[in-house]
């Protein structure tokens, strides 16, 4: 082959490659939370007056059990509880929830819940409100 | 020659009848225990509980639970188990290992490794394969509990699951307890 | 008809969707389930309660999968065959009636699992509550509908709500800790 033709062809191929196969550049705000995400976080988070993390975790576990969840995993040092339940009456869908308990100042615990319905995050505030209502009750009973 | 032929025919008929009753399962399915009600597996009969308890338990003349647990962990590691649960206060050790029974037979399936046996969350509902089945078939689970029996003795109980069945044969347990006894320099005794 | 049933199987999940928000609400059954799954023990010794629970579960053929003593949590599992003669026979007749076009997947594997929590219920921690829940997950093998291959692994889940199951567990636990188990 003519060396010049080869050079031109590789140039064309190179241009094509650069245009078609380059990875999309990340958006500047990729790692910046969107407004919707911030709103969601406020639904998912509540702060409670609880002495220690263990007490708060036990209350979280009790609340989840009362709601019919199966406790799957718990990690005391990290303050993490993972639970799931079947979307009864149908037995094909799963609702998963991860709750983290973090100390926030003296005698206060920040509790955050993340719920997933079949691997899709729940963005509706209602389920979180319901969860915290049950948690509040269980914390109240535990404190007595 | 005649009787042999009849024998073969009879054999064929028997196999055919079995196939008919079983609804033509594949060889892989065939390796699984068949039963009338799968929920029976939730419970064990009192009779088999007693029998298993005797085979799976041994008494050791020591009160040193920590040393016993260390010996259990060491023995399990020697046997190639990955220890996943260890609680010295509760006296629980649990581990698992894989016997390549199904994997080698069918080649590599990426889903064999993607099966998460610890969670209910499903990875995908659209792509399904045999991978998780082979994973479960190959999985050997082993749990040991160490509990105080009286002021001078501990009772160690080991139980194993293999190819979706409990191991009920006393011989593997005998071997495990012999090794454990050697590690502890103690004689294992049957629970009376 | 069988084809229709078979096709409806996987779709059933899409038809009877329960709203996720409903699943975070206490229902009339919540209290009932709680009563069935819970017993009280007059003891300070939460370690003994958990250790005995593990021993009872082992006695029933379960393998301990997770233990977090700090929050009184135990999880145990057993994996078993889920094959049933009834399903095999059913599959055979459907196969015959559909003239070999329909080969229904049958239940093959099941995982029977249990999750247990022991916790003190008064500030002095002289009384403990044990709550246990049993459930199972079942997976079907593969099949064939006409020319369409049905891949293996269709998953079905089921909470176990037979009161006898829970009564028997607590009877054994109570025997193991030498304590009476009180209902709520």
Residues of A at the B interface, defined by Cβ within 8 angstroms: 70, 72-73, 82, 84, 86, 92, 94, 96, 116, 118-119
Q: Under an 8 A CB cutoff, do A134 and C73 touch?
A: no
CA B91 → CA A72, B102, C106, distances in Å? 21, 33, 40
In 3D space, the residue among A90, B50, A62 whose CA is nearest the CA of residue C20 turns out to be: A90
Residues near A85 by beta carbon (within 8 Å), at least 6 away in sequence: A67, A68, A69, A70, A94, A95, C23
Q: Is the preceding omega at residue B161 within 30 degrees of 0, hence cis?
A: no
Portion 116-155 of B in contact with A at CB < 8 A: 118-123, 125
Residue B108 has pLDDT above 70, yes or no: no
Of A58-62, B102-106, B157-161, C69-73, which range is least confident?
Answer: B102-106
- Tell me, rounded to whole angstroms, the distance of Cα B143 from its chain centroid: 10
Of A40-44, A131-135, B52-56, C7-11, which range is least confident?
Answer: C7-11
Q: What is the pTM of this model?
A: 0.83
Q: Under an 8 A CB cutoff, do B38 and C51 touch?
A: no
Residues near C7 by beta carbon (within 8 Å), at least 6 away in sequence: C145
Percent of chain C with pLDDT over 70: 89
Query: Cα(C108)–Cα(C84) distance, rounded to whole angstroms?
Result: 8
Q: Under an 8 A CB cutoff, do B122 and A84 touch?
A: no
Portion 70-129 of B in contact with C at CB < 8 A: 84-85, 87, 89-92, 94, 117-118, 120, 122, 125, 127-129
Residue A25 has pLDDT above 90, yes or no: no
| Mean pLDDT value of segment A35-50 | 88
Percent of chain A with pLDDT over 90: 38
Query: Cα(B73)–Cα(B146) distance, rounded to whole angstroms?
Result: 12
Q: Is A52 helix (H, G, I), strand (E, B) or coil?
A: coil
Q: Which residue of C has its CA nearest to B86?
A: C67
Q: Under an 8 A CB cutoff, do C157 and A86 touch?
A: yes
Q: What does the pLDDT read at residue C66?
A: 92
Residue C5 has pLDDT above 90, yes or no: no
Residue C114 has pLDDT above 60, yes or no: yes
CA B23 → CA A41, B138, B149, distances in Å? 53, 25, 50
Neighbouring subunits of A (3+ Cβ pairs under 8 A): B, C
Residue C9 has pLDDT above 50, yes or no: no
Segments of chain C assigned E as strands: 38-41, 63-68, 73-81, 102-103, 107-120, 128-140, 143-145, 148-150, 155-159
- Please tell me which of the candidates A61, A92, A122 has its beta carbon nearest to residue C71: A61
Characterize B107-128 residue by residue with b for buried, 16 or more Cβ atoms within 10 angstroms of its Cβ, and e for exposed. Answer: eebebbeebeeeebebeeeeeb
Count of pairs with CB atoms under 8 A, one residue in A, one in C: 101
- Please tell me which of the candidates C52, C84, C95 has its beta carbon nearest to residue B36: C84
* Residue C67 near chain A (CB below 8 Å): no
Interface predicted TM-score (ipTM):
0.82
pLDDT digits over C129-151, tens only? Answer: 999 999 998 999 999 898 899 88
Query: Cα(C66)–Cα(A130) distance, rounded to whole angstroms?
Result: 29
Residues facing residue B92 across a β-bridge? B87, B145
Q: What does the pLDDT read at residue C3?
A: 42
Q: What does the pLDDT read at residue C1?
A: 37
Query: Cα(B115)–Cα(B128) distance, rounded to whole angstroms?
Result: 11
Neighbouring subunits of B (3+ Cβ pairs under 8 A): A, C
- What are the tokens at C119? 């916790």
Is residue A74 within 8 Å of residue A53, measured between CB atoms? no
Q: What does the pLDDT read at residue B145?
A: 96
Write the DSSP assignment of B116-167 as a string of letters.
-TT-S--S-SS---SHHHHHHHHEEEEEEEEEE-SSS-EEEEEEEEETTEE-
In which residue are the tokens 């370690």 written?
C47
* Residue B2 near chain A (CB below 8 Å): no
Residue B122 has pLDDT above 90, yes or no: no
- What are the tokens at B174? 């005998």
Q: What does the pLDDT read at residue A41?
A: 87
Chain B residues lying within 8 Å of C84, measured CB to CB: 34-38
């Amino acid at each position: 082959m003519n060396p010049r033709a080869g050079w031109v062809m590789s140039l064309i191929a190179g241009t094509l490659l650069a245009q078609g196969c380059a990875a999309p550049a990340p958006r500047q705000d990729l790692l910046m939370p969107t407004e919707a995400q911030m709103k969601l976080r406020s639904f998912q988070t509540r702060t409670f007056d609880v002495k220690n993390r263990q007490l708060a975790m036990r209350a979280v576990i009790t609340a989840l059990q009362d709601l019919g969840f199966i406790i799957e995993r718990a990690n005391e040092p990290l303050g993490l509880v993972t639970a799931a339940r079947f979307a009864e009456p149908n037995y094909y869908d799963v609702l998963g929830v991860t709750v983290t308990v973090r100390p926030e100042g003296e005698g206060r615990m920040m509790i955050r819940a993340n719920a997933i319905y079949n691997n899709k995050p729940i963005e509706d505030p209602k389920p979180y409100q319901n969860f915290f209502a049950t948690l509040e009750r269980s914390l109240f009973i535990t404190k007595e | 020659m005649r009787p042999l032929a009849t024998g073969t025919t009879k054999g064929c008929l028997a196999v055919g009848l079995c196939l008919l009753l079983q609804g033509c399962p594949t060889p892989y399915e065939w390796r699984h225990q068949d039963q009338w009600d799968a929920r029976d597996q939730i419970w064990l009969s009192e009779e088999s509980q007693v029998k298993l308890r005797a085979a799976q338990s041994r008494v050791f003349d020591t009160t040193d639970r920590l040393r016993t647990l260390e010996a259990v962990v060491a023995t399990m590691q020697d046997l190639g188990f990955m220890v996943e649960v260890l609680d010295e206060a509760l006296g629980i050790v649990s581990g698992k290992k894989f016997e390549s029974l199904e994997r080698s037979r069918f080649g590599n399936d990426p889903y064999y490794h993607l099966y998460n046996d610890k969670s209910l969350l499903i990875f995908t509902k659209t792509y399904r394969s045999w991978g998780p089945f082979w994973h479960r078939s190959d999985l050997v689970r082993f749990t040991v509990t160490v509990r105080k029996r009286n002021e001078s003795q501990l009772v160690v109980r080991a139980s194993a699951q293999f190819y979706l069945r409990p191991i009920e044969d006393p011989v593997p347990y005998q071997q495990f307890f012999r090794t454990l006894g050697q590690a502890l320099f103690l004689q294992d005794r049957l629970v009376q | 008809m069988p084809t229709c049933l078979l096709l409806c199987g996987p779709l059933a999940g899409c038809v009877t969707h329960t709203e996720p928000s409903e699943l975070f609400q206490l229902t009339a059954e919540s209290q009932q389930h709680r009563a069935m799954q819970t017993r009280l023990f007059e003891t300070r010794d939460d370690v003994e309660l958990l250790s005995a629970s593990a021993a009872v579960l082992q006695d029933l053929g379960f393998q301990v999968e997770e233990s977090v003593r700090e929050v009184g949590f135990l999880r145990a599992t057993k994996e078993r065959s889920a094959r049933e003669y009834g399903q095999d026979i059913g599959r055979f007749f459907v196969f015959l009636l559909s003239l070999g076009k329909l080969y229904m997947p049958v239940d093959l594997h099941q995982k029977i699992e249990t999750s247990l929590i022991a916790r003190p219920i008064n500030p002095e921690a002289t009384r403990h509550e044990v709550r246990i829940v049993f459930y199972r997950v079942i997976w079907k093998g593969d099949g064939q509908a006409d020319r369409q291959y049905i891949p293996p692994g269709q998953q079905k889940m089921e909470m176990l709500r037979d009161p006898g199951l829970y009564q028997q567990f607590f009877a054994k636990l109570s025997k193991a800790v030498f304590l009476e188990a009180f209902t709520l």
